[in-house]
């Protein structure tokens, strides 16, 4: 038996929802506001995170690109971003012509180190992209203070943090633009997909154009854009998933709490919520110097523990940046995420904890 790190959670509701779309052949719409399912999903997404507007796109990467294009970032600009993230965050910056400048993280919760952030601001810096990694909320109050002081824009990479909150407010809604992913491994899915939220009407209008080649009424491109449209089938799936999301998040929290209790005496660093923070428990991540040994032993028992991310972005062959990021390097060799998604039962959580205990006692 394999226990995957994350899996899509679909049932007959999603299957039933896509059949009429296939029968009608209404697969997508290049109209300004998109197809029926896209428009309905956007209403649900905006209301879920309590933002004025949501614009659906066809991936989390596209969400980041659209957000960067909407802020007119490009050649000659620098964007501050953690290296300890999925590569998409940096790649989206490169796709605009701007340069990603890598910032270290705090060991506390693996999010952007605000002291290092401030040190890396130059005359060319235009924006900051904090990543709420694993669902952990970045030190967003401080990041916003720094952004105001230096007149920088902020885009939140909330791909992993849909449902996470700080002081009751959703990640993705603190800044100009919040970007989410609906990839199958995420807390909810549409197959491929993503969305951007904003309270700014002008940015919303711009995002609608960017997702559709910069057009407003068709063949009248006013700004640069691409095809970032979310297919109707994906939007129909997303509509059902976002309604199920509160339940999914509740089970993740229950599983995380149970696992934390069972491993509280282990010599590993256990994830904790800080005061006023409510994480979505997308990835339950421990850190330990015995990471590689634990990883292979858990895997031999069918527990698909995963090291997100054993190679930080700045160390990939494409970026091969010589910058020194000590905490990022430490995290890359110490972190290990354990399965706690809604399909993991309480018995399985016990099995994971027991297996971990055996390995640590060897």
Ligand X SMILES: Cc1ncc(COP(=O)(O)O)c(C=O)c1O
Q: Which residues bind ligand X (CB under 6 A)?
A: 59-61, 85-86, 88-89, 131, 157, 159-160, 181, 183, 194
* Residue 157 C-beta: closest distance to ligand X, Å: 5
* Residue 277 C-beta: closest distance to ligand X, Å: 18
* Residue 61 C-beta: closest distance to ligand X, Å: 3
Closer by beta carbon to ligand X, 8 or else 263:
8
Closer by beta carbon to ligand X, 86 or else 106:
86
CA-based torsion, 76, 130, 212, 46: positive or negative: negative
Q: Are 337 and 307 in contact (CB under 8 A)?
A: yes
Residues 335, 332, 112, 203: what is their CA dihedral angle, to the nearest 10 degrees?
A: -100
Q: Are 160 and 132 in contact (CB under 8 A)?
A: yes
Residue whose beta carbon is closest to ligand X: 60
CA-based torsion, 303, 309, 194, 150: positive or negative: positive
Closer by beta carbon to ligand X, 175 or else 181:
181
Closer by beta carbon to ligand X, 53 or else 195:
195
Closer by beta carbon to ligand X, 131 or else 233:
131
Closer by beta carbon to ligand X, 28 or else 355:
28
| Whole-angstrom distance, CA of residue 338 vs CA of residue 268 | 13
Q: Are 228 and 87 in contact (CB under 8 A)?
A: no
In whole angstroms, how far apart are CA 37 and each of 20, 21, 190? 12, 9, 12
The Cβ of residue 22 has, within 10 Å, a number of other Cβ atoms equal to 11
Burial of 313: CB neighbours in 10 Å, binned 0-12, 13-18, 19+ = buried
Closer by beta carbon to ligand X, 174 or else 297:
174
Strand 78-82 with 125-128, pairing: parallel
* Residue 164 C-beta: closest distance to ligand X, Å: 12
* Residue 186 C-beta: closest distance to ligand X, Å: 7
* Residue 135 C-beta: closest distance to ligand X, Å: 10
| Whole-angstrom distance, CA of residue 100 vs CA of residue 90 | 6
* Residue 278 C-beta: closest distance to ligand X, Å: 19
DSSP-derived 3-state class of residue 46: helix
């Amino acid at each position: 038996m394999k226990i995957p790190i994350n899996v899509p959670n679909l049932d007959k509701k999603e299957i039933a929802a896509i059949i009429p779309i296939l029968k009608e052949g209404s697969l997508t719409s290049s109209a300004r506001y998109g197809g029926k399912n896209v428009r309905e999903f956007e209403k649900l997404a905006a209301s879920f995170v309590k933002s004025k507007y949501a614009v659906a796109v066809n991936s989390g990467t596209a969400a980041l690109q659209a957000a960067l294009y909407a802020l007119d970032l490009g050649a000659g600009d620098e964007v501050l971003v953690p290296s300890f993230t999925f590569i998409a965050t940096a790649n989206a910056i490169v796709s605009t012509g701007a340069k990603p400048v890598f910032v270290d993280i705090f060991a506390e919760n693996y999010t952007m180190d605000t002291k290092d952030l401030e040190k890396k601001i130059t005359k060319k810096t235009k924006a900051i992209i904090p990543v709420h990694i694993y669902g952990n909320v970045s030190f967003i109050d401080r990041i916003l203070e720094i952004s105001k002081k230096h007149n920088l824009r902020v885009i939140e990479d909330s791909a992993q943090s849909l449902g996470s909150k700080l002081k009751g407010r959703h990640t993705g809604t603190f800044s100009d633009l919040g970007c989410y992913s609906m990839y199958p491994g995420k807390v909810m899915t549409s197959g491929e997909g993503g969305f951007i939220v904003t309270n700014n009407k002008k940015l919303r209008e711009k995002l609608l154009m960017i997702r559709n080649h910069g057009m407003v009424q068709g063949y009248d491109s006013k700004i640069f854009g691409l095809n970032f449209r979310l297919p109707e089938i994906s939007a129909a799936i997303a509509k059902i998933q976002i309604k199920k999301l509160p339940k999914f998040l509740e089970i993740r929290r229950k599983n995380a709490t149970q696992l934390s209790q069972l491993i509280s005496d282990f010599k590993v660093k256990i994830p904790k919520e800080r005061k006023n923070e409510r994480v979505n428990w997308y990835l339950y991540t421990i850190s330990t110097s015995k990471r590689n040994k634990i990883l292979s032993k858990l895997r031999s028992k069918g527990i698909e523990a995963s090291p997100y991310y054993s190679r930080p972005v700045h160390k990939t062959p494409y970026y091969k940046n010589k910058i020194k990021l000590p905490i990022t390097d430490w995290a890359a060799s110490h972190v290990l995420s354990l399965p706690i998604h809604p399909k993991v039962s309480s018995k399985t959580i016990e099995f994971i904890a027991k297996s971990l205990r055996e390995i640590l006692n060897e």
